[in-house]
Amino acid sequence: TFLAITQMEGIQPRNELEITKRDLERLQVLGPFINLFETECADPAIMRILSIMERKKLLLPRPPSLRNMPLKLNYRSIMKIAQEASETASMERMAQVTGTLDLAAKEVGRPPPGRIVKWDEWLREYSRLVNVHPNLFYSQQEVITADTVRARQAQGAQTMALTQPAVDAAQTLSQTQIGNGKSALQAILGT
């Protein structure tokens, strides 16, 4: 069952959806074993190894604040990472459907349903599941700051775009002579 794709009968290669579904099915079967292995085997073995290393002074001494505190081990095995990464298939499918629905809604003049999704959080969770380091992302505060700067720049550009025709008109009026040595702009301003 672990070489399900390699040993598939029929036409090769199968479509990506079928391959993804087979991977998910295999990981669902392995899920209970992975959890049991981590809690019943790996956790105690790693804690024992750390205790032995600490007793034999193979580790740096703990800081004073942690000397009498029991250690809590927190790790993610390769199988757990693969299991979490398989969760991304449903996220990817949801994003595809959302994109399709947004386009359909635009065609009929309806609000896009994708507006209900917190896309920044979606991307952070997706990245966590595929094991992308969180330091590669801006913090929420940095994003807010950048968005604010971008909005101000866009507003400034819009203001410039709106005032440019008035500047052009004033320049044209100042260069248009209407007699008596006056320009059209001077006549309008009464000077």
Identify the pLDDT of residue 187. 76
**Region 125-140 average pLDDT:** 89
Identify the pLDDT of residue 155. 85
**Region 1-25 average pLDDT:** 65
Percent with pLDDT over 70 in the chain: 90
Residue 46, CA distances (Å) to 53, 56, 63, 175, 190 in order = 10, 15, 21, 85, 90
- Between 121 and 18, name the one with better pLDDT: 121
pLDDT-derived band at 7 (thresholds 50, 70, 90) equals low
pLDDT of 149 over the 70 cut: yes
Residue 13, CA distances (Å) to 5, 23, 31, 92, 126 in order = 9, 15, 26, 21, 27
Segments in the chain forming alpha helices (H)? 16-37, 43-55, 78-86, 88-107, 119-129, 140-175, 184-189
- Between 84 and 46, name the one with better pLDDT: 46
pLDDT-derived band at 191 (thresholds 50, 70, 90) equals low
- Between 59 and 169, name the one with better pLDDT: 59
